Structure 1
Amino acid sequence: MAGIGNGITSLHAQLSSQFKVPHKFALCLPSTSENAPGHMFVGGGPYYFSPYGKDIAKQLITTPLVENPLKIRGVTQSGEDAEYDFYVNVTSISVDHKLVSFNASLLSIEKDGFGGTSFSTTSAYTILTSSIYESLVSAFVKAAAFRKMIRVASVAPFGACFDSKSIARSQTGPVVPYIDIGLAGNTHWRFYGANSMVAVNNDVLCLAFVDAPFVRSSIHIGSHQMENYLIEFDLVSKKLGISTSLSFRNTTCSQSRGI
Structure 2
Amino acid sequence: MALSKGSKPNFLFFSTVLFFVSNILNSSNAQNNINRDAFHIAITVDPKTHQYHGSFQSGTPSHNVNPLIDLGGNFLSLPCNTSSSTLRSVPCKSTKCQNLKGVCDPKGACTLSSGTLSDDIVTIHKTDGTMVYADTNSTRLDISCLNSNSRNNNGILGLGRTSNTLTNRLSSTFNIIPKFTLCLPSSNDNGFGDLFIGPGPYMFAGGVDGSSLLQFTGLVLSPTSNEYFVDVKSVKIDKRVVHFDSQTVIIGSTKLSTTVPYGILHSSVYKAVVGAFVKSTAARNITRAAAVKPFGACFSVEGVRWTKLGPRVPLIALELSGRMGKLSWNINGANSMVRVDKNTLCLGFVDGGVKATTSIVLGGHQLKDNFLEFDLSRSVLGFSSSLQPGTCSNLRNF
Alignment TM-score, normalising by the size of structure 2: 0.57
Question: What is residue 385 of structure 2 aligned with on the other side?
Answer: 244
Flag the structure with higher helix content.
1
In structure 2, C-alpha distance between the alignment counterparts of 1:254 and 1:18, rounded to whole Å: 29
Deviation sequence 1:74-124 (CA, Å, 0-9, x none): xxxxxxxxx11011111000000000111575224xxxxxxx211110010
Residues 1:27 and 2:27 are matched in the alignment: no
C-alpha offsets along residues 186-215 of structure 1, whole Å, 9 cap, x if unaligned? 101001000000000111000001111132
Q: Does 1:187 align with 2:327?
A: yes
**Aligned residue type for 1:93:** V
The counterpart of 1:196, out of the listed 336, 344, 347, is 336
Paired residue secondary structure (1:243): strand
Say whether the 8 Å CA contact 2:315–2:331 is kept in structure 1: yes
| Matched residue type, 1:170 | T
Deviation at 1:33, TM superposition (A): 7.1
Which has a greater percent of strand?
2
List aligned pairs for 1:137-148, cutoff 5 A.
137-148=274-285
Contact 2:190–2:393 (CA under 8 A) maintained in structure 1: no
Aligned twin of 2:291: 154
Distance 2:167 2:188 in 1: 27
Give 3-state SS (helix, strand or coil) of 1:254's partner. coil
Larger radius of gyration: 2
Whether 1:61 aligns to 2:61 is no
Q: Is the 8 A contact 1:49 1:253 kept in 2?
A: no
Compared CA separation, residues 36 and 210, structure 1 to 2 (3 A): farther
Higher deviation after alignment, 40-49 or 120-129: 40-49
Unaligned runs of 5+ in 2: 1-66, 68-156
- 1:219 has 2:373 as partner: no
Aligned to 1:91: 233
1:23 and 1:224 map into 2 onto residues whose CA distance is 26
The number of equivalent residue pairs is 236
Indicate how the Cα distance of structure 1 residues 130 and 207 shifts in structure 2: closer, same or farther if over 3 A, else same: same
TM-superposed deviation, 1:238: 0.9
Aligned to 1:205: 345
Q: Give the letter aligned to residue 62 of structure 1.
A: F
Distance 2:265 2:243 in 1: 14
State the partner residue of 1:112: none
Question: Cα offset for 1:35?
Answer: 6.3
Structure 1: 5+ residue stretches without partners: 71-82, 109-115
CA drift of 1:156 comes to 0.9
1:107 paired to 2:251: yes
Give a deviation string over 1:114-146, Cα, whole Å, max 9, x none.
xx2111100101111100011000000000001
2:331 and 2:385 in contact (8 A); partners too = no
- Whether the 8 Å contact between 2:207 and 2:397 is mirrored in structure 1 is no
* Secondary structure, aligned partner of 2:158: coil
Q: Deviating runs (4+, > 4 A) in structure 1? A: none
Q: CA deviation at 1:158?
A: 0.7
* Contact preservation (8 Å) 2:184, 2:367: yes
Question: 1:165 offset after TM fit, Å?
Answer: 2.1
1:3 aligns with 2:158: yes
- Structure 2 letter corresponding to 1:129: H
Q: Which residue of 1 aligns with 2:194?
A: 39
8 Å Cα contact 1:49/1:252 also seen in 2: no
What is the root-mean-square deviation of aligned Cα atoms in Å? 1.5
Q: Which has the higher contact order (CA 8 A, sep 6+)?
A: 1
How far 1:41 sits from its partner (Å)?
A: 0.6
Distance 1:232 1:215 in 2: 27
SS in structure 1 at match of 2:381: strand
Give me the whole-angstrom Cα distance separating, in 1, the residues matched to 2:222 and 2:188: 34
2-side partners of 1:35 and 1:154: how far apart? 31
Select the residue among 243, 250, 256 that pairs with 1:119.
256
Percentage of matched positions with identical amino acids: 42
